[in-house]
Amino acid sequence: MKRIVMGALVLCGSLLGLSAIVAAPTPLKPFERGSWQQVLHAHAGRPTLVHFWGVTCGPCKIELPELGAFMKAHPGIDVVTISADLVPNLPAATQAMLDQAGLSAAENFIFNDGYAERLRFEIDPSWQGDIPRTMLIARDGSISTIEGSAEAAELDKWSAEQLGTAAGR
């Protein structure tokens, strides 16, 4: 009888935990092993800007709203953000910063692996973890990397080349 009661308690606890997850889904996707290839595959043939940033990164706090403005001005460019902080997962702070920057509608990920070096290696074997970092993926799949803060003029020029339009917002 004890086993049945214990089993029922465990099952109820599991269902309650599951209902809490279902009731409050987070728009942040976990970035795990294999996620980089999934991003590349999902956006194949489309110009895509992938921005790596973090809640604890000073320059990122300035750059995120600029990226939000870029996304609004360039709807033909897919925008993906990946919070790559080395500090423990900060989903609430991450989502708040994305919302404030106007990036809620972007495809947003957060590193979700205790071994961040492995994730970075999958993306770029030479990446040491510095953020901000922006990768511009052209329609043909070629990738240009901007280490540090990206300049708006550089992003506008790349966007115009990808979309075949005049540069500028």
Output the six-digit token pair for 162: 């990808």
**Domain CATH code at residue 69:** 3.40.30.10
Closest CA to 161 of 134, 142, 133: 142
Query: By percentage, how much of the chain surpasses pLDDT 90?
Result: 73
Q: Per-residue pLDDT tens for 109-125?
A: 999 887 889 999 999 99
Please check whether residue 22 lies inside any domain of the structure: no
Residue 52 covered by a domain: yes
Residues 15-47: pLDDT tens digits? 444 333 333 444 899 999 999 999 999 999 999
Name the residue type at position 115: Y
Q: Is 2 within a domain?
A: no
Domain membership of residue 92 (yes or no) is yes
To the question of pTM greater than 0.85 for the whole model, the response is no
Question: Quick check: is 72 in a domain?
Answer: yes
Q: Establish if 9 belongs to a structural domain.
A: no
pLDDT at 11: 44
For residue 27, what pLDDT is reported?
A: 82
Number of domains the chain contains: 1
Domain that holds residue 137: 27-163
Instruction: Flag whether 12 is in a domain.
Output: no
Q: Give phi and psi for 88, each to the nearest 5.
A: -55, 150
168, part of any domain: no
For helices 58-73 and 152-163, give the axis angle rounded to 10 degrees: 30
